[in-house]
Structure 1
Amino acid sequence: MKETWRWFGPTDEISINEIRQTGSAGVVSALHHIPNGAVWPVSAIELRKRDIEGTRENPTGLTWDVVESLPVSEAIKTKGADRATHIEAYKESLRNLAACGIQVICYNFMPVIDWTRTNLASALPHGGTAMQFDLIDFATFDIHLLKRERAQADYSDALQAQALTRFSSMGNTRKKELIHNILAGLPGSEEHWTTSDILDCLKTYDDISRADLQQNLIDFLAEILPTAEEHGLRLCCHPDDPPFPLLGLPRVMSTQEDYAKITSAIDSPANGITFCTGSLGIDPAFDPADFVKTLGPKIHFVHLRNTRSHTPHDGNRTSFFEAAHLGGDTDMPAAVFALMGEEKRRRSAGRTDAEIPMRPDHGQAILADLDRPMMPGYPLIGRMKGLAELRGIIAAYRHING
């Protein structure tokens, strides 16, 4: 796998020179300053590419390998009034990315709030911090801070009681922090939600079922995949994070079965998967080796991270935190060995995309991370530690398999 590193652009606290020192060969980035639904112009793409790769006279040795993410607007997800305009803009952005030599584009189809955590720097026993999703905190937000209609019906009596107790003990500072953490949106995004914004947006999903949203995704792909195929692009959908419903909203990319349905609905080399072991691994039934064995040919991009679930649980929902890369619920060696096997099969088949871009996703903030600002979940030392551990697994595979 090709080692890559997520970089949020010139405002990222981690510099390109620091990324070079991690040993990464490529970069994953996006134009976060461009609003959802707008075209990514060639000039802006070229500028970011130059930031990453340098110039012919002064190259960095890095390449921009993956776009993460080219956001799908709410108008597209809900088939709103601006859908047609936003789809045309999406296709134009794809053409412009292809013109700049970028072939792998990650996106997601999570409604309204994208990835969700309730604590962006939860203290760990070893002195570091990690992002956490606490189910009681989320229920507290949903029922008592957002005050969503019908929110209580989405939680068990026991969880409602725990949420009320926690809300009663919360000070104003913690309430504001919890709201901020949950409404943070996509990492690096300049779009900011308020609780009023969220409530208004939730109304647009009142008549959209899980089946409807899944069909909206298929219809979106039917419109953009011909453009992707024409330009040799590989699109890859990121799983829901966490992989269960929140705020009464449907989720459509949470399981291996969801991916099988979407990738088979339109059988195209451009219709692919972002294999995120952290998001998918929250489901106790997740088997990374079986996922790769079954859907491996569709995997275009890999996020290797780990999570560990803990109480309370409520139905299929659970609390969890970002674990060390080899210390969570997912069998990371099994995942990496399966992916290396998939690459070997691709080389035997003569596929030009035999080398799959991978990045060490998220990380615990440790050591010098604790003394510098950072994008939540994206520390320098914590991710580099994870990358080193993953390299060890890859080296072991090559030693065993030649």
Structure 2
Amino acid sequence: MRHAGRGATLNDTPNRFGLAARESDGDWLDARDDVDGGPAPVRTTVTIERPRTIITRNSSPDVPFDRSINAYRGCEHGCIYCFARPTHAFHDLSPGLDFETRLFAKPDAARLLRVELSAKSYLPKPIALGTNTDPYQPIEATWRITREIIEIFHETRHPFTITTKSDRVVRDLDLIAPMAAKGLVSVVMSVPTIDPKTARTLEPRAPSPAKRLAAIRALSDAGVQCHVSLAPVVPQITDHEMEQILSAAADAGARRAFFMPVRLPHEVAPLFRAWLDAHHPDRAAKVMATIRSIRGGRDNDPDFHTRMKGQGPWADLLRTRFQIACRKLGLNRERLVLRTDLFRPPEGDQPRLL
């Protein structure tokens, strides 16, 4: 069933932890039909989360960072392909509509970050923002947790990266631009499609592709190293746009780019299949067949070293097209290195003299 402005069509995906399947109820999913006979709009709610720490560590050989911060759980952008959807199952919530509508915010994030950066044993390395859910999703306008985190980075001269698909990042240029001048920050803008019609169903509550390209221009004009992410590339849906996206991003000032074939871990696979049936029934079987060819005959390849790249002729073709386009456009000529030597621990009770 389609829900206006939402990505997932389901909210009862199988739960890996043996918990009861979640169904609509009056508190979260209004079961009444609207005046047109369709489902009533699904409300968004936000619950406060009080973690003990805020920096998450990882040792994955597939990602270029070892620490990250996520200010929110769940994401209202509603991207149907989001690999973070299965994390909602840990809360006995559906990776479907619950992931888009039952959000968690961490208002203590900046305070916790200050404590962790103050530890005598702390060694600075770039911290990634937005690796699980978008730090600039709509609720950031009210909660401003991401901005508070960046204020700590600004104070301590700590390097960080931002990955987002929102032009809201431009609102924090007063903090980001001065840090960019010191080599302390870079921004990755996710642009999987530049077709407005595709974007409305693939990532229904994210800002339009045009707004994201405008944000790349604004960031680049302000001296911020800005990169474009074609993640994910969805075969038979967005793959034909690869060269157009790269060209538009380069014209806007992007300096680097990367791509990733779509991943469908755990509950994302049935959600994605349902989305295909709802929005692209004419090519659903073909899309899934191509994905399986990229993922070693499975809906998803969870293995290190291959899960981000894909395998087989289709994956090779995408890589070749990407490399040729980047070479023609002058992308990826520079290696990104953020400085760590400027870091200074947060101020304690006694302010710094200098």
Higher helix share: 1
If the TM-score is normalised by the length of the shorter chain, which range does it land in? 0.3 to 0.5
Relative to the length of structure 1, the TM-score reads 0.35
